[in-house]
Amino acid sequence: MAEAAIPSPVINPVSSGYRRYALWVLLIIYTLNFLDRQVVNILAEPIKRDLHLADWQLGMMTGLAFAIFYTVLGIPIARLAETKNRPFIIGASVAAWSAFTVLCGFTQNFWQLILARIGVGVGEAGCTPPAHSLITDYVPKDKRAGAIAFYSIGTPLGTLAGMAMGGLVADAYGWRVAFMVAGAPGVLFALIAAFTLVEPRRQLAADIAARAASKISFGAALAVLATKKTFWLIALAASIKAFVGYGHAPFTASFFFRVHGAEVAELAARFGLKSAGFLGLALGLIGGTAGVIGAWLGGLLADRLGAKDLRAYVIVPAIASLVTIPFYILAVSVGSPMAAIGVLTIPVLLGTLWYGPVYATAQSIVDPAIRATASAVLLLIINLIGLGLGPVAVGALSDLLAGPAGLGEAQGVRWALILSTLLGLVAFGLFWAARKTIREEMVA
């Protein structure tokens, strides 16, 4: 435990102008991260038909295959980020996941696609832990939740771009080309990250040597985290939020195709589009616009209310988790696809409010020397449970409810979405419980 008290090196602050530039670069990179991760969701139905897959296989492809390597490799990469050049780590990661996204378009069967998705996960493992650590070094404490929320806006923006671009390109050229288009921009931003982002540790070479000599071991870092009850409560709460969100993502478009297929085709025709292109644009715009507002609002509320009472960092996501549930159930229960799309705006907005408060809290309850590790452990829990198990569980539940003598594909996917969203009650309880410890555990 004594190791955790080793002072962190002095950080050479960057100018406010450069800080804005760096945050925009990191936002674009994270947007590409989620574009490449989420484009598969609008392509799920054509991939299912082309490769003759079941829903559980769609869940495996979009979730578990990606998540296992993404979460596990996040830990050693984060340990590197504690002492090595973080912009170089981010740049190499962008190049790797972009290349594997392109390779997804060349796959010919389920297992080849699984391997390509694993490659995407391997690359993306090196993005967020060093990015969170960089942002925390770039930004003053009182603006930290807002800055990390700004970075987290990449989630809805990437989802918007992936859904809209993926649907339109798939309609015009097929799902394989959509993967290739999604992966291409990463090459440029890999270079921008590696060669224009500043590593703010003063006298980098000397600092690396000093950090290597006094580096806190992974076991010691875990020992520090083990004492932070707040960390584990928000990690489990966020993992449940991710379980629901990632679990719904591959099956939202499938829900509309199966339940409202004829109406969606008719609506698409009015705009001169096919169903996938129309749904990609509609769901992408909702996910992007409402998701951006939600992520920004969550960071803003947490910083402003948290200045008076630190408990706001967990109260904001707690209330959002509770209010989301009835609106989501209404969205998948109404008879009109346009009404369903409209109502979905509310749970999408509320579903991103937790990003800034949760990630900022995780960075602020540990010393600077283990921030990247704390971020990686948090992401491991969130993504292993949420991204790894969510899509597979919802897909398996959909298959179970659908038949052979069950509700059929349309009602099976609807009830799988409804039942899984009720887990938000557990997330609410965990966030609410974190109120008791967050004030005493804040250290930075």
Give me 406's structure tokens. Answer: 């069950």
Cα–Cα distances in angstroms (integers) from residue 8 to residues 31, 201, 215, in the given order: 30, 10, 10
100 is a domain residue = yes
Report pLDDT for 10. 44
Burial class (CB in 10 A: 0-12, 13-18, 19+), 32: buried
8 is a domain residue = no
131 is a domain residue = yes
Q: Residue 294 is part of a domain; what is its CATH number?
A: 1.20.1250.20
Question: DSSP states of 116-185 as a string?
Answer: HHHHHHHHHTTTHHHHHHHHHHHS-GGGHHHHHHHHHTHHHHHHHHHHHHHHHHHHHH-HHHHHHHHHTT
C-alpha span between 174 and 51 (Å, rounded): 13
43 is a domain residue = yes
Number of domains in the chain: 1
148 is a domain residue = yes
Range of 399's domain?
13-441
Instruction: Indicate the SS3 state at residue 201.
Output: strand
Report pLDDT for 414. 94
Report pLDDT for 8. 43
C-alpha span between 132 and 100 (Å, rounded): 24
Cα–Cα distances in angstroms (integers) from residue 329 to residues 324, 334, 339, 426, in the given order: 9, 9, 13, 16
432 is a domain residue = yes
C-alpha span between 213 and 207 (Å, rounded): 10
417 is a domain residue = yes
- Show pLDDT as tens, one digit a residue, over the chain (444 residues): 334 444 444 444 567 788 889 999 999 999 998 888 778 877 877 888 888 888 788 777 777 777 777 777 777 877 777 778 889 999 999 999 899 999 988 988 889 888 888 888 888 878 888 888 888 888 877 777 778 888 888 888 888 888 888 888 888 888 899 999 988 898 899 999 999 888 876 544 555 555 555 567 778 888 988 999 999 999 999 999 999 998 998 889 889 989 998 999 999 898 888 888 888 888 888 878 898 899 889 888 988 898 888 899 999 999 999 999 999 999 999 989 999 999 999 999 999 899 889 988 888 888 877 877 887 789 889 988 888 888 889 988 998 998 776 788 889 999 999 999 999 999 999 999 999 999 888 876
7 is a domain residue = no
The model carries a pTM of: 0.73
Report pLDDT for 4. 42
